[in-house]
């Protein structure tokens, strides 16, 4: 079975990342999104989706199709790297607001840019992802119109399941300019939608993303709180990071008990990350089709201690370039030293490994008669051809052996 004929084909083959765009297209009366036993947000067809609507979904769903930066967005001055794609510039950057910098994930680049966009009135609102009120271990999409709304509900790295696009059509229907901040797979889905819905490019003015190691299943967060004998309903605060860089994993209960653990202890070795299956075959976790991608800058890929928070910015489009410069001139963002691709390689070794491995993983799925993603403009085949055979075979066989766990 290598074809996708229904929503459940996407879900049961591990291709769904739970982004929520299908629900936003079809409506809540047709599709429900709920937490599965595996700890993933999964859509379920409540009422038969008309075939026309289903066709719209499979043309945008990041579990079906992923493409690189649209040609018309590639600036004439853009450089290109086989792993990292198109970029106009690379440098350290962070928010000039000490509170944002401290409380955000890395240096608050994404929240700082979002704040600039709101306060300069370039957009009316930001569509982003925050902690669910009263259920801080869960995430929810949010339209924020001012600084207070933007920053009051843990709008920083939320590694667990989220549906950042479930309100995307609601946002479009408001007919006001806005910016979207989300994961690379979310951005890719928006770019696909922009091919058939002209409101997307007219209204969604900026696409900002984070370089993404993968979205963890909810069970990983559950295990974390259970290790302190805390139940979800007792939580008042749940943070994956932030309040420092990286900051500690931190929880507080409604009756005032506090527990925390080092960031590295949650992540540890890559095989224990417990990310969604879709993330293991992700052909673009580096935000190739965004305007700006923000990332961590720990040499070797993981933090050795705390620092003040230094993002790197991969500026991909002219629009992203202008935005960053304007935000710097307006005093919202501080830029540090310029970086080179070899620095980005050093900060993100796991991204290089995945980008090189992913085509072999797709082949492994195809050979096992399991559907996989359609990709274009992401160079994964070229990278595969440059690998040695042993590496490719190991990746192909490795993914085939995981199919039972999808």
Name the residues that contact ligand SF4, by CB under 6 A.
Answer: 7, 10, 16-22, 43, 57, 61-63, 183-185, 212, 214-215, 276, 278-279, 282, 285
- Under 8 Å between Cβ of 204 and 190: yes
Q: Which residue in the block uniquely carries the two structure tokens 């005032």? A: 256
- Ramachandran angles phi, psi of 29, nearest 5°: -75, -20
Residue 201's DSSP bridge partners are none
CB of 106 to ligand FAD, least distance (A): 4
- Residue 219 to residue 161: CA distance in whole angstroms: 10
Beta strands in 264-386 (DSSP E): 292-295, 311-315, 333-338, 374-376
Contact between 171 and ligand FAD per CB under 6 A: no
Contact between 339 and ligand FAD per CB under 6 A: no
CB of 278 to ligand SF4, least distance (A): 5
User: How many Cβ atoms are within 10 Å of 299's Cβ, its own excluded?
Assistant: 10
Cβ contacts of 113 within 8 Å, gap of 6 or more: 206, 208, 292, 323, 324, 327, 332, 333
| 3-class secondary-structure state, position 103 | helix
List the one residue out of 351, 336, 318 whose CA is nearest residue 81.
351
Contact between 129 and ligand FAD per CB under 6 A: yes
Rg, the chain, Cα only:
20
CB of 48 to ligand FAD, least distance (A): 29
Which of residues 147 and 350 has its CB atom nearest to ligand SF4 in the complex? 350
Residue 239's DSSP bridge partners are 250
Reading the block at residue 190, the tokens are 């928006």
Contact between 207 and ligand FAD per CB under 6 A: no
CB of 61 to ligand SF4, least distance (A): 3
Return the residue of 18, 62, 107, 320 that touches ligand FAD, per CB under 6 A.
107
Contact between 144 and ligand FAD per CB under 6 A: no
Judge residue 71's burial from the number of C-beta atoms within 10 Å of its C-beta, 0-12 exposed, 13-18 middle, 19 or more buried.
Answer: exposed
Stretch that binds ligand FAD, among 63-71, 150-158, 226-234, 314-322 (CB under 6 A): 150-158
List the one residue out of 199, 185, 203, 212 whose CA is nearest residue 60.
185
Contact between 211 and ligand FAD per CB under 6 A: yes
Return the residue of 68, 108, 283, 377 that touches ligand FAD, per CB under 6 A.
108
Site residues for ligand FAD, 254-273, by CB under 6 A, read none
105 binds, among ligand SF4, ligand FAD, none (CB under 5 to 8 A by kind): ligand FAD
- DSSP class of residue 4 equals -
Which of residues 106 and 375 has its CB atom nearest to ligand FAD in the complex? 106
Contact between 20 and ligand FAD per CB under 6 A: no
Residue 179's DSSP bridge partners are 126, 206
Which of residues 282 and 344 has its CB atom nearest to ligand SF4 in the complex? 282
- Ramachandran angles phi, psi of 394, nearest 5°: -60, -45
Which of residues 171 and 211 has its CB atom nearest to ligand FAD in the complex? 211
- Under 8 Å between Cβ of 313 and 51: no
User: How many Cβ atoms are within 10 Å of 196's Cβ, its own excluded?
Assistant: 10
22 binds, among ligand SF4, ligand FAD, none (CB under 5 to 8 A by kind): ligand SF4
CB of 76 to ligand FAD, least distance (A): 28
Which of residues 8 and 96 has its CB atom nearest to ligand SF4 in the complex? 8
Contact between 225 and ligand FAD per CB under 6 A: no
CB of 330 to ligand SF4, least distance (A): 30
- Under 8 Å between Cβ of 306 and 60: no
CB of 152 to ligand SF4, least distance (A): 25
Judge residue 122's burial from the number of C-beta atoms within 10 Å of its C-beta, 0-12 exposed, 13-18 middle, 19 or more buried.
Answer: middle
CB of 16 to ligand SF4, least distance (A): 3
Return the residue of 73, 192, 215, 372 that touches ligand FAD, per CB under 6 A.
215
- Under 8 Å between Cβ of 272 and 67: no
- Residue 175 to residue 302: CA distance in whole angstroms: 42
Contact between 212 and ligand FAD per CB under 6 A: yes
x/- contact string, 299-338, with ligand FAD (CB under 6 A)?
------------x---------------------------
CB of 362 to ligand SF4, least distance (A): 13
- DSSP class of residue 142 equals E
User: Could you list the residues that contact ligand FAD (CB under 6 A)?
Assistant: 104-111, 128-129, 139, 155-159, 162, 164, 181-183, 186, 210-215, 294-296, 311, 348
């Amino acid at each position: 079975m290598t074809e996708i004929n229904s929503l459940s084909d996407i879900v049961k083959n591990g291709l769904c990342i739970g982004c929520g765009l299908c629900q936003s297209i079809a409506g809540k009366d047709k599709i429900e999104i709920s937490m599965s036993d595996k700890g993933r947000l999964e859509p379920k067809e409540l009422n038969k989706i008309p075939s026309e609507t289903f066709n719209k979904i499979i043309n945008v769903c990041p579990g079906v199709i992923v493409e690189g930066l649209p040609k018309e967005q590639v600036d004439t001055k853009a450089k290109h790297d086989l792993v990292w794609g198109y970029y106009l510039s690379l440098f350290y950057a962070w928010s000039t607001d000490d509170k944002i910098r401290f409380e955000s994930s890395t240096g608050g680049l994404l929240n700082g840019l979002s704040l600039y966009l709101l306060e300069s009135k370039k957009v009316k609102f930001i569509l982003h992802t925050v902690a669910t009120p009263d259920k801080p271990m869960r995430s929810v999409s949010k339209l924020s119109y001012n600084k207070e709304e933007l920053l009051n509900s843990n709008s920083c790295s939320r590694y667990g399941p989220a549906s950042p696009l479930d309100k995307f059509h609601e946002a479009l229907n408001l007919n006001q300019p806005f910016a979207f901040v989300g994961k690379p797979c979310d951005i890719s889905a928006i770019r696909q939608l922009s091919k058939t819905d002209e409101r997307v490019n007219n209204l969604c003015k900026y696409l900002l993303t984070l370089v993404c190691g993968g979205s963890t299943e909810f069970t990983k967060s559950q295990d974390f709180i259970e290790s302190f004998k805390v139940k979800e309903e007792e939580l008042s605060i749940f943070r994956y990071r932030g309040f420092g860089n990286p900051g500690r994993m931190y929880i507080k209960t409604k009756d005032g008990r506090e527990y925390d653990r080092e960031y590295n202890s949650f992540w540890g070795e890559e095989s224990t990350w417990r990310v969604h299956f879709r993330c293991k075959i992700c052909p673009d976790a580096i935000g190739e089709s965004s305007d700006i991608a923000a990332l961590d800058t720990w040499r070797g890929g993981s933090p050795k201690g705390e620092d003040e928070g230094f993002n790197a910015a991969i500026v991909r489009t002219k629009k992203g370039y202008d935005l960053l410069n304007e935000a710097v001139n307006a005093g919202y963002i501080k830029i540090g030293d310029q970086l080179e691709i070899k620095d980005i390689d050093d900060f993100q070794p796991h991204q290089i490994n995945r980008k090189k491995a992913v085509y072999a993983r797709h082949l492994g799925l195809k050979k096992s008669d399991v559907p996989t993603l359609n990709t274009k403009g992401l160079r994964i085949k070229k990278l595969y051809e440059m690998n040695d055979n042993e590496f490719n075979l190991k990746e192909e066989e490795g993914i085939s052996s995981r199919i039972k766990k999808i």
